[in-house]
Structure 1
């Protein structure tokens, strides 16, 4: 059997207090893939350039996620040129404060294939104002600096987000794709509630950041969390452990992240309700220390 049922338990292992005061389910939903049409490129070649071709289906999927217990939804102003934020606002309006929405500023999209960091403080503040309008809210739950722009001092970029926080327009501040040194520099300017970096079984380049955030109460939010690389083969460790615990390989990869540390909050994205429920089922997968070690050492 597979762990595909919705998990209703609310023990400490399934909930994280984001920023110390915002409880969220530890498997969230990354909404980047809710863009473009069925004939557009997928995977690493995805453009994330236009609103979803089937908007009604996208709204239904987001509402299904909320009904199934997802409380943290992740988007960015760069996803489909703001259409991603507008989509979440429409879909999640009925749930109000029951869900938290994270968005990002600091990347411009001159064309479907370009993602260019832009960290001018005035631009960051303007984009946050636009995000507030599109999300139809007076305060953004979690606002990330999408990428650090080397053309401006990091303190000024984080300072722009801190100003928004002081104005009551941002509840918590996050950073994306940063090193420990950059995180420490940012923390001297403003409290950081979350770091969103690439991290999964196949790519563990940010181990140091994960460990650093663990000691500071900062959420570590891995994107592309299900990627397994060479571990995904039918005779590999993921498949073997999945069989032992009665889960799917994807659930097992997510369970490894959840067991890695209690402040890890993966945000898998999908356009399939079946995969959505499968992902949430990872909250119910329990790994023994030996099983975790086998995955961790693979």
Structure 2
């Protein structure tokens, strides 16, 4: 591990998930399969929403963007990770590392916001059905999605600007499989206390505000669903809500574990395993959850298969 200063940094070394060479082949094929499933599942959701007129509704408009974000989210990390595992080339350039962190934050924050938007959409659809076409108009849907991406970009610009103006004089070895906030801070010899407060504030505002929107929305949704007299209507409402809540639980659970802890409790090896869940597994599982638990998506799949036969 070579001590360096900020002006001399041209590249970092990523340790990856494990230093055991006997696991290299197994990890490569496991993550390659995961990435292929992620691409096929999320692109499949996007194509299905695009081609099936029954899914041309605000809810599936948001779901299509969630699938797009998941593709981008995993593509920021997995291709580089696969190359590193296969070739044992563990270096990443300074600017490439900054770009990776920036894109990771953009799509991570955007996913949080889209999940909150989808909860609000379900609230309006179930609790205010007569006003639904007016409230969730095409203009409003585009505004909510654009705002989600814009806030993601703002967060990313803040984090990237802060981190890559610090001095790195301890080592250029990142104990992670991609350029994330915590392992980069561990390398800095600058005073990072102010930035750590900024991280806590931004993550708290983003996660807690979106989780509050989701919680409040479902506090109105669940009693409304239970009051639906039609068994078919009740099943349909529970179907869309259950798939959304499953995705929310998986995504936010890992993020809260990662970032809303005191820095003194950070264990980078433990963080790598937690990050693995929401950066790689969640984008893979999301299309499966929506395909298996959502009646409308399953019906659209059957129609698509029927057209091909």
Regarding TM over 0.5, the answer is no
With the length of structure 1 as denominator, give the TM-score of the two structures. 0.26
Which structure has the highest strand share of the two?
A: 1
Give the number of the structure with larger relative contact order, counting CA–CA contacts within 8 Å between residues 6 or more apart: 2
With the length of structure 2 as denominator, give the TM-score of the two structures. 0.26
Which structure has the highest helix share of the two?
A: 2
